[in-house]
Amino acid sequence: MTLYCATTNAGKLREFRLAAQKFGGEIRIEPVPGLSQIPAPEETGRTFAENAIAKAIYYSRFAPGPLFADDSGLEVDALGGEPGVDSAHYAGAGAGDADNNRLLIERLRGVANRSARFVCVIALAEQGKLIETFEGTIEGRLLDAPRGENGFGYDPLFLYPPYGRTLAEVSPEEKLAVSHRGKALRAMFEFLARLSSPSPGARTAG
Protein backbone atom coordinates (compact mmCIF):
# COMPACT_ATOMS: atom_id res chain seq x y z
CA MET A 1 0.00 0.00 0.00
CA THR A 2 1.20 3.52 -0.77
CA LEU A 3 0.62 6.17 1.86
CA TYR A 4 1.08 9.73 0.61
CA CYS A 5 2.60 12.56 2.57
CA ALA A 6 2.71 16.30 2.03
CA THR A 7 6.11 17.54 3.06
CA THR A 8 8.92 19.32 1.27
CA ASN A 9 11.11 19.02 4.38
CA ALA A 10 13.82 16.46 3.50
CA GLY A 11 14.55 15.76 7.18
CA LYS A 12 10.93 14.87 7.87
CA LEU A 13 10.65 12.71 4.74
CA ARG A 14 13.73 10.68 5.79
CA GLU A 15 12.13 10.07 9.19
CA PHE A 16 8.77 9.11 7.64
CA ARG A 17 10.46 6.52 5.42
CA LEU A 18 12.59 5.09 8.21
CA ALA A 19 9.46 4.73 10.38
CA ALA A 20 7.64 2.97 7.53
CA GLN A 21 10.53 0.49 7.19
CA LYS A 22 10.50 -0.19 10.93
CA PHE A 23 6.80 -0.24 11.81
CA GLY A 24 4.89 0.06 8.54
CA GLY A 25 4.91 -3.50 7.19
CA GLU A 26 4.16 -3.24 3.48
CA ILE A 27 3.44 0.51 3.56
CA ARG A 28 5.54 2.75 1.28
CA ILE A 29 5.63 6.52 1.79
CA GLU A 30 5.55 8.79 -1.26
CA PRO A 31 5.15 12.56 -1.49
CA VAL A 32 1.83 13.49 -3.10
CA PRO A 33 2.38 13.53 -6.90
CA GLY A 34 3.26 17.01 -8.23
CA LEU A 35 3.65 18.43 -4.70
CA SER A 36 5.89 21.29 -5.81
CA GLN A 37 3.18 22.49 -8.25
CA ILE A 38 0.39 22.49 -5.65
CA PRO A 39 -0.03 25.94 -4.05
CA ALA A 40 0.76 25.57 -0.33
CA PRO A 41 -2.14 26.43 1.97
CA GLU A 42 -1.51 29.15 4.56
CA GLU A 43 -0.80 27.71 8.00
CA THR A 44 -3.08 29.89 10.07
CA GLY A 45 -3.87 27.49 12.92
CA ARG A 46 -2.68 28.29 16.44
CA THR A 47 -2.21 24.63 17.37
CA PHE A 48 -0.25 21.80 15.79
CA ALA A 49 -3.47 19.80 15.47
CA GLU A 50 -5.31 22.56 13.59
CA ASN A 51 -2.46 22.91 11.10
CA ALA A 52 -1.94 19.17 10.62
CA ILE A 53 -5.66 18.61 10.02
CA ALA A 54 -5.94 21.54 7.59
CA LYS A 55 -2.89 20.34 5.61
CA ALA A 56 -4.05 16.72 5.52
CA ILE A 57 -7.57 17.61 4.33
CA TYR A 58 -6.22 20.03 1.71
CA TYR A 59 -3.49 17.81 0.23
CA SER A 60 -5.55 14.60 0.36
CA ARG A 61 -7.71 16.04 -2.45
CA PHE A 62 -4.62 15.80 -4.70
CA ALA A 63 -3.60 12.27 -3.63
CA PRO A 64 -4.79 9.05 -5.26
CA GLY A 65 -4.95 7.31 -1.84
CA PRO A 66 -4.74 8.03 1.89
CA LEU A 67 -2.42 10.88 2.88
CA PHE A 68 -0.98 12.14 6.13
CA ALA A 69 0.41 15.54 7.08
CA ASP A 70 2.50 16.37 10.10
CA ASP A 71 2.76 19.63 11.97
CA SER A 72 5.45 19.84 14.56
CA GLY A 73 7.65 22.21 16.50
CA LEU A 74 9.49 23.11 19.65
CA GLU A 75 7.85 24.44 22.83
CA VAL A 76 10.24 26.22 25.19
CA ASP A 77 8.92 26.62 28.73
CA ALA A 78 10.96 29.75 29.56
CA LEU A 79 9.55 31.40 26.40
CA GLY A 80 5.92 30.63 27.23
CA GLY A 81 5.75 27.80 24.65
CA GLU A 82 7.47 29.67 21.80
CA PRO A 83 8.35 29.10 18.99
CA GLY A 84 5.55 26.49 18.87
CA VAL A 85 3.62 26.53 15.59
CA ASP A 86 6.06 29.20 14.32
CA SER A 87 9.11 26.92 14.76
CA ALA A 88 9.93 26.71 11.05
CA HIS A 89 9.92 30.52 10.65
CA TYR A 90 11.06 31.62 14.12
CA ALA A 91 13.71 34.01 12.78
CA GLY A 92 11.35 35.34 10.08
CA ALA A 93 10.03 34.34 6.65
CA GLY A 94 12.78 32.65 4.66
CA ALA A 95 14.84 31.86 7.77
CA GLY A 96 16.74 28.57 7.77
CA ASP A 97 17.59 26.16 10.58
CA ALA A 98 20.85 27.97 11.42
CA ASP A 99 19.07 31.36 11.74
CA ASN A 100 16.35 29.84 13.94
CA ASN A 101 18.92 28.14 16.17
CA ARG A 102 20.93 31.36 16.53
CA LEU A 103 17.82 33.27 17.60
CA LEU A 104 16.88 30.60 20.12
CA ILE A 105 20.38 30.64 21.66
CA GLU A 106 20.12 34.43 21.88
CA ARG A 107 16.67 34.42 23.54
CA LEU A 108 17.83 31.85 26.12
CA ARG A 109 21.14 33.54 26.98
CA GLY A 110 21.40 33.63 30.79
CA VAL A 111 18.06 31.81 31.24
CA ALA A 112 18.29 29.05 33.86
CA ASN A 113 15.14 27.09 32.90
CA ARG A 114 16.20 25.08 29.81
CA SER A 115 13.26 22.65 29.61
CA ALA A 116 11.55 22.18 26.24
CA ARG A 117 9.68 19.62 24.23
CA PHE A 118 9.12 18.72 20.61
CA VAL A 119 5.50 18.05 19.68
CA CYS A 120 4.25 16.34 16.53
CA VAL A 121 0.66 15.92 15.40
CA ILE A 122 -0.06 13.76 12.37
CA ALA A 123 -3.42 13.91 10.63
CA LEU A 124 -4.53 11.14 8.29
CA ALA A 125 -7.09 11.95 5.59
CA GLU A 126 -8.51 10.62 2.37
CA GLN A 127 -10.28 12.53 -0.43
CA GLY A 128 -10.77 15.63 1.71
CA LYS A 129 -12.04 13.77 4.81
CA LEU A 130 -10.18 13.52 8.11
CA ILE A 131 -9.74 9.93 9.29
CA GLU A 132 -7.73 10.26 12.55
CA THR A 133 -5.00 12.24 14.34
CA PHE A 134 -1.95 11.00 16.29
CA GLU A 135 0.32 12.91 18.66
CA GLY A 136 3.80 12.40 20.08
CA THR A 137 6.08 14.45 22.36
CA ILE A 138 9.65 14.26 23.64
CA GLU A 139 10.98 16.18 26.65
CA GLY A 140 14.51 17.59 26.72
CA ARG A 141 16.82 20.46 27.66
CA LEU A 142 18.20 23.18 25.43
CA LEU A 143 21.96 23.72 25.20
CA ASP A 144 23.59 27.12 24.62
CA ALA A 145 25.65 25.88 21.64
CA PRO A 146 24.87 23.32 18.92
CA ARG A 147 26.24 19.76 19.12
CA GLY A 148 26.13 17.10 16.39
CA GLU A 149 25.62 16.90 12.64
CA ASN A 150 22.63 14.57 12.25
CA GLY A 151 18.94 15.39 12.16
CA PHE A 152 17.55 18.80 11.22
CA GLY A 153 15.94 21.91 12.69
CA TYR A 154 16.61 22.41 16.40
CA ASP A 155 18.10 18.90 16.91
CA PRO A 156 21.67 20.18 17.61
CA LEU A 157 20.39 22.23 20.58
CA PHE A 158 18.00 19.61 21.99
CA LEU A 159 19.65 17.43 24.64
CA TYR A 160 17.73 14.24 25.39
CA PRO A 161 18.74 13.42 28.99
CA PRO A 162 18.27 9.61 28.86
CA TYR A 163 20.80 9.48 25.98
CA GLY A 164 23.03 12.27 27.36
CA ARG A 165 23.32 13.49 23.75
CA THR A 166 21.50 15.91 21.47
CA LEU A 167 19.14 14.56 18.80
CA ALA A 168 21.79 15.61 16.25
CA GLU A 169 24.38 13.35 17.96
CA VAL A 170 22.31 10.16 17.83
CA SER A 171 21.63 7.86 14.87
CA PRO A 172 18.39 8.23 12.88
CA GLU A 173 17.17 4.97 14.48
CA GLU A 174 17.93 6.20 18.01
CA LYS A 175 16.09 9.46 17.33
CA LEU A 176 13.07 7.72 15.82
CA ALA A 177 12.78 5.34 18.81
CA VAL A 178 12.12 8.22 21.24
CA SER A 179 11.11 11.24 19.19
CA HIS A 180 7.78 13.05 18.95
CA ARG A 181 7.53 12.14 15.25
CA GLY A 182 8.55 8.52 15.87
CA LYS A 183 5.80 8.13 18.48
CA ALA A 184 3.11 9.76 16.31
CA LEU A 185 4.16 7.73 13.24
CA ARG A 186 4.17 4.50 15.19
CA ALA A 187 0.65 5.21 16.47
CA MET A 188 -0.50 5.87 12.89
CA PHE A 189 1.05 2.63 11.57
CA GLU A 190 -0.55 0.65 14.42
CA PHE A 191 -3.91 2.23 13.59
CA LEU A 192 -3.53 1.32 9.90
CA ALA A 193 -2.55 -2.24 10.78
CA ARG A 194 -5.69 -2.58 12.93
CA LEU A 195 -7.82 -1.24 10.06
CA SER A 196 -6.42 -3.76 7.59
CA SER A 197 -6.70 -6.80 9.89
CA PRO A 198 -10.31 -7.29 11.02
CA SER A 199 -10.74 -8.21 14.68
CA PRO A 200 -11.78 -11.84 15.43
CA GLY A 201 -15.26 -10.61 16.47
CA ALA A 202 -15.77 -9.06 13.02
CA ARG A 203 -15.43 -12.42 11.22
CA THR A 204 -18.59 -13.81 9.69
CA ALA A 205 -19.63 -17.31 10.63
CA GLY A 206 -19.22 -20.19 8.20
Which positions touch ligand IMP (CB under 6 A)? 9, 71-74, 87-88, 100, 118, 151-155, 179, 181
Query: Which C-beta is closer to ligand IMP: that of 86 or that of 132?
Result: 86
Query: Which C-beta is closer to ligand IMP: that of 3 or that of 122?
Result: 122
d(CA 118, CA 73): 6
Shortest distance in whole angstroms from residue 73 CB to ligand IMP: 4
Q: Is 77 an annotated catalytic residue?
A: no
Report which residue's Cβ sits closest to ligand IMP.
Answer: 153
- Residue 62: which region, alpha, beta or left (left: phi > 0; alpha: psi -120 to 50)? alpha
Shortest distance in whole angstroms from residue 115 CB to ligand IMP: 16
Query: Which C-beta is closer to ligand IMP: that of 27 or that of 142?
Result: 142
What are the strands, taking DSSP E only, across 77-182?
115-126, 129-142, 158-160, 165-166
Shortest distance in whole angstroms from residue 204 CB to ligand IMP: 43
Query: Which C-beta is closer to ligand IMP: that of 25 or that of 173?
Result: 173
Q: What is the DSSP letter of 6?
A: -
Among residues 71, 77, 86, 155, the one annotated as catalytic is 71
- Helical residues (DSSP H) of 92-204, grouped into ranges: 97-107, 172-178, 180-196
Shortest distance in whole angstroms from residue 46 CB to ligand IMP: 13
d(CA 176, CA 20): 11
CB neighbours of residue 193 within 10 Å: 13
Strand pairing class (165-166; 67-76): unpaired
Active site residues: 71
